[in-house]
Amino acid sequence: MDYLAGLNPEQKAAVLQIKGPVMIIAGAGSGKTRVITYRVAHLIRSRVDSFNILVLTFTNKAAREMRERINHICGPEAKNIWMGTFHSVFAKLLRVEADKIGYPSNFTIYDTDDSKSVLRAILKEMNLDDKLYAVNFVLNRISAAKNNLISWQAYQKDEQIQSEDHANRRDLLGKVYETYAQRCYRAGAMDFDDLLFKTNELLRDHPDVTNKYQHKFKYIMVDEYQDTNRSQYMIVKRLAAVNENICVVGDDAQSIYAFRGANIQNILNFEKDYPDLKVFKLEQNYRSTQNIVNVANSIISNNKEQLKKNVFSEKEAGDRIKIMRAFSDNEEGKMVADTIMQDRSTNGMKWHDFAILYRTNAQSRSMEEALRKLNIPYKIYGGLSFYQRKEIKDLIAYFRLTFNPNDEEALKRVINYPKRGIGDTTVDRIIVAADKNNITPFEVVLQPNYYIEKAPASLSAFAAMIQSFQVLAKNQSAYEAALYIAQHSGLLKDLYVDKSIEGVNRYENIQELLNGIKEFSEREDIEEKGLDVFMQDIALLTNDDKDKNKDADTVSLMTIHSSKGLEFPQVFVVGLEENLFPSQMSLNSRSDLEEERRLFYVAVTRAERKLSISYATSRFKFGTLINCEPSRFLDEIDAKYLELDFSAKPQQSSSFFDDERNAWSRKDTNTKTDAYKPKPATTPPPVKTTSILAKAHVVSNDFKISDTSNLQVGMQVEHERFGFGKVINLEGNKPDVKATIFFKEIGQKQLLLKFAKLSII
Ligand code: ATP
Ligand code: MG
């Protein structure tokens, strides 16, 4: 069993325990994913048929990497394993079984844009106030219901459901949910949540089908189990019910999708569901240096709700974690880019050794700008997918209509693109006629004069064109069919004549899509190579899956959410500021704040050798410059692992914010001239002090900072918002000492010392 040599005794025990229910809840980097990979390899080596294995991962990328590893150990058998995300695996299963639940096997998968468009139409028809019924809100409610396996019928009936949906809104929401479900059904379409919701219905109502898959999937493994929702939990439970060879791995400290319905109860329930459960503990972190592991532990220890576990590293202590302060978001980008440049040359690293992680997508802009200035190649993960670009969606809408002419969103998208004289009024009439006659819009288009008034002649021509595509797609290869459709729909020409830079770009994107389809047509490892097969999971792909040079040497940029499970030698976590990270929305409840903290834990545990954390003291938000406070999370890190880099010198260009101290003195002398002052932020960013600044080892500190735990009456202090002052009284015991301070500008104030952003001057 040489192939198991790369496992420690606990990991090996978990791999060898192939029978019965197994659970591993362990800290980051302890080899959970590795255990799943080796377990599958071990199953195949033990002559388990690879067709009988089901592995559910969090991203397509994770599945691909796992398959490569298994292939390396076991050879081409790896190809037969059902492995992928919940959505892609069950979309595949539903295509086989769709007729059982009244869907065509070539059902369309509606992406979020499609779903919103359907909802927008419904909300408009029902005349609902778009403030009370914002599309995102409604979609979230429907999504939450589906993820909790609540059908629209149950939603309408149950008084308890969604108690946060205001009572009279609930009635209408129930109606919107019903109409939405019916529209999707009529269009032969499922949204993302349906892929799991309908799988549950299928397994619930069709014992024969359930039985078939229970016997097919004799061995089931689930990675990142802490982020499964109820719908996913039930699928796994049903499929595993006969053999009970189920292994789940996860880390409660990394549960970061509660906002989307992930349920930590799934871990706790697991023990109840399977009394013979074998639990394995993994405690050694193989990913990160001791400093990084210690910092991660100190962060997560602030959460009240967590399963206790030990995590340690036997790697070297490693560098301290660097805290970088910048004066603006642009400068933060520059500091990160400069560090990458420098460390790459001094430590002989590659670009792909670096990752920049942020809380929100919007933060990538300043990072990208800085990287571009230094010609550093980078790639944004999880951003807008290639398949979500307008021109790509347009062509794909033609493909969708070809295979599923009932697909209403596709129809609406291209019925008048390129322009063929079918106006919005006509489209509205088509939809109304379809509703009235209980048929699909395409059926109306097939006989326009029968169903609607003043039908333009081009409607019949459009219908005939789609029908010709249908015939063609049956007989031609994916590439021939795609090219034909691109040409004969008029889309290629429409893009070709647009010679603007964007137009050329769009034309090239279509060419790229066609090239991709050509490659697909020529693949030798698959039998079915029609355009319908190419189309199947396209809505589930992200930009990480459509990457021309997968192995290109680039710096990775991504949100922390999409970094789950990944690792990089050097990681920058940026934007550690109050209201950004933790996000403003999380500040109202402990559980939301704890989820943010878990997110921070996920971020820092991606780093193998070096970790830098940064914040800016001002940042553009919605076009306005705002002052920012360092994140409370910084205070929570044990300062002995930190190193502060306050070396950043303000840049010439950022006039008023040049230098915090100068700014202060200028304020004193220049009180009459407001000319320098930027409009939104009328006071200069004050000196920021947090306890980490006070306690940590400071590399380069322009400011005199001291620990406020030694504060005494009579001392001069500076508060980040109230300015300079003098301590006039201290009362109470540590850690609840209250200080009464007289501030020059605002007068007397009483502050709880542990929260006050104070420094002694
Ligand atoms: P996360 O919680 O972040 O998903 P994980 O628990 O899944 O982490 P893995 O990604 O499986 O951890 O492992 C972390 C790193 O440690 C990987 O690079 C893996 O190859 C390595 N590793 C795990 N176990 C061992 C081992 N026994 N010997 C050497 N390297 C190991
Ligand atoms: Mg993992």
Quick one: which ligand is closest to 25's CA? 1
Residue numbering of the annotated binding site for ATP: 26-33
322 φ/ψ angles, rounded to the nearest 5 degrees = -90, 130
Spatial distance between the Cα atoms of 228 and 197, rounded to a whole number of angstroms: 13
Residue-level pLDDT at 383: 67
Does the annotation mark 230 as catalytic?
no
pLDDT tens digit sequence for 389-436: 899 999 999 999 999 999 999 999 999 999 999 999 999 999 999 999
pLDDT tens digit sequence for 72-115: 998 888 889 999 999 999 999 999 999 999 999 999 999 999 99
Query: Which of 190-204, 372-386, 666-680 is predicted least confidently?
Result: 666-680
Spatial distance between the Cα atoms of 254 and 228, rounded to a whole number of angstroms: 12
Per the model's pLDDT, the better-predicted residue between 225 and 752 turns out to be 225
Instruction: Please indicate whether residue 311, judged by its CB atom, sits closer than 6 Å to ligand 1.
Output: no
Nearest CA to ligand 1 atom 4: 565
Q: Quick one: average pLDDT of 375-379?
A: 94
Q: Quick one: average pLDDT of 298-308?
A: 87
Nearest CA to ligand 1 atom 31: 286
Query: Which of 139-148, 221-230, 430-439, 729-738 is predicted least confidently?
Result: 729-738
Residue-level pLDDT at 308: 81
Give yes or no for a cis peptide into 680 (omega within 30° of 0): no
533 φ/ψ angles, rounded to the nearest 5 degrees = -70, -40
pLDDT reading at 510 higher than 80: yes
382: burial class by Cβ within 10 Å (0-12, 13-18, 19+)?
Answer: middle
Residue-level pLDDT at 544: 64
Instruction: Please indicate whether residue 606, judged by its CB atom, sits closer than 6 Å to ligand 1.
Output: no
Residue-level pLDDT at 188: 95
Pocket probe mutation, ligand 1, options 36, 252, 287, max atoms within 8 Å of Cβ: 287
Per the model's pLDDT, the better-predicted residue between 232 and 529 turns out to be 232
Tokens of 243: 């053999």
Q: Where residue 550 falls among pLDDT bands split at 50, 70, 90?
A: low
Instruction: Please indicate whether residue 412, judged by its CB atom, sits closer than 6 Å to ligand 1.
Output: no
CA of 27 to the centre of ligand 2 (A): 9
Using the structure block, give the residue that is written with the tokens 């949906």: 165
Residue-level pLDDT at 603: 98
Instruction: Please indicate whether residue 363, judged by its CB atom, sits closer than 6 Å to ligand 1.
Output: no
Q: Which long-range contacts (CB under 8 A, 24 or more apart) does 112-115 make?
A: 112/139, 112/192, 113/388, 113/393, 114/189, 114/191, 114/409, 115/139, 115/180, 115/191, 115/192
pLDDT, averaged across the chain: 86
Residue-level pLDDT at 520: 86
Nearest-atom number in ligand 1 for the CA of 254 is 2
pLDDT reading at 705 higher than 70: no
Q: Where residue 743 falls among pLDDT bands split at 50, 70, 90?
A: confident
Q: Are 513 and 485 in contact (CB under 8 A)?
A: no
681: burial class by Cβ within 10 Å (0-12, 13-18, 19+)?
Answer: middle
Residue-level pLDDT at 696: 43
Tokens of 296: 């991660």
Q: Are 697 and 320 in contact (CB under 8 A)?
A: yes
Quick one: which ligand is closest to 607's CA? 1
Q: Quick one: average pLDDT of 123-139?
A: 90
Residue-level pLDDT at 357: 98
Of 179, 226, 254, 426, the active-site residue reads 254
Spatial distance between the Cα atoms of 464 and 444, rounded to a whole number of angstroms: 13
Q: Where residue 547 falls among pLDDT bands split at 50, 70, 90?
A: low
Query: Which of 101-115, 572-586, 638-652, 691-705 is predicted least confidently?
Result: 691-705
Of 10, 12, 33, 284, the active-site residue reads 33
Instruction: Please indicate whether residue 249, judged by its CB atom, sits closer than 6 Å to ligand 1.
Output: no
Nearest CA to ligand 1 atom 15: 287
pLDDT reading at 690 higher than 50: no
Q: Where residue 684 falls among pLDDT bands split at 50, 70, 90?
A: very low
Most confident option among 81-85, 588-592, 681-685: 81-85
Instruction: Please indicate whether residue 31, judged by its CB atom, sits closer than 6 Å to ligand 1.
Output: yes
Short-list 1, 13, 188, 29, CA closest to 571: 29
Residue-level pLDDT at 309: 83
Does the annotation mark 224 as catalytic?
yes
Pocket probe mutation, ligand 1, options 10, 30, 34, 267, max atoms within 8 Å of Cβ: 34
Residue-level pLDDT at 215: 97
Nearest CA to ligand 1 atom 14: 29
Does the annotation mark 254 as catalytic?
yes
pLDDT tens digit sequence for 427-471: 999 999 999 999 999 999 999 999 998 889 999 999 999 999 999
Quick one: which ligand is closest to 602's CA? 1
pLDDT reading at 190 higher than 90: yes
CA of 299 to the centre of ligand 1 (A): 20
Short-list 318, 330, 407, 315, CA closest to 371: 330
CA of 288 to the centre of ligand 1 (A): 10
Nearest CA to ligand 1 atom 27: 7
Q: Is 454 left (phi over 0), alpha (psi -120 to 50) or beta?
A: left
Question: Max Cα separation, the chain?
Answer: 91
Give the global pTM. Answer: 0.80
pLDDT reading at 669 higher than 80: no
Of 223, 227, 251, 643, the active-site residue reads 223
Pocket probe mutation, ligand 1, options 68, 252, 286, max atoms within 8 Å of Cβ: 286
Nearest-atom number in ligand 1 for the CA of 282 is 6
Nearest-atom number in ligand 1 for the CA of 11 is 27
Q: Where residue 203 falls among pLDDT bands split at 50, 70, 90?
A: very high
Does the annotation mark 49 as catalytic?
no
Query: Which of 269-278, 281-290, 691-700 is predicted least confidently?
Result: 691-700
Instruction: Please indicate whether residue 670, judged by its CB atom, sits closer than 6 Å to ligand 1.
Output: no
Q: How many CA atoms lie within 13 A of 215 on its CB side?
A: 5
Nearest-atom number in ligand 1 for the CA of 606 is 3
Residue-level pLDDT at 212: 97
Q: Quick one: average pLDDT of 741-750?
A: 74
Tokens of 440: 């699909």
CA of 406 to the centre of ligand 2 (A): 41
pLDDT tens digit sequence for 36-68: 999 999 999 999 999 999 999 988 888 999 999
Instruction: Please indicate whether residue 283, judged by its CB atom, sits closer than 6 Å to ligand 1.
Output: no
Does the annotation mark 606 as catalytic?
yes
Q: Quick one: average pLDDT of 112-123?
A: 94
Quote the percentage of the chain above a pLDDT of 70: 88
Instruction: Please indicate whether residue 252, judged by its CB atom, sits closer than 6 Å to ligand 1.
Output: no
Of 32, 34, 198, 359, the active-site residue reads 32
- Which DSSP string corresponds to 338-398? HHHHHHHHHHT--GGGEEEEESSGGGHHHHHHHHHHTT--EEESSSS-GGGSHHHHHHHHH
Short-list 304, 272, 328, 414, CA closest to 653: 328
pLDDT reading at 659 higher than 70: no
Q: Where residue 663 falls among pLDDT bands split at 50, 70, 90?
A: very low
Give yes or no for a cis peptide into 686 (omega within 30° of 0): no
Q: Give the chain's count of helices (H) and strands (E).
A: 29, 25
Residue numbering of the annotated binding site: 26-33
Per the model's pLDDT, the better-predicted residue between 321 and 307 turns out to be 321
pLDDT reading at 480 higher than 60: yes
Instruction: Please indicate whether residue 34, judged by its CB atom, sits closer than 6 Å to ligand 1.
Output: yes
Q: Where residue 151 falls among pLDDT bands split at 50, 70, 90?
A: very high
Helices (H), 207-249: 207-216, 230-240
Q: Say yes or no: ipTM exceeds 0.95.
A: yes
Q: What's the full length of the chain, in residues?
A: 761
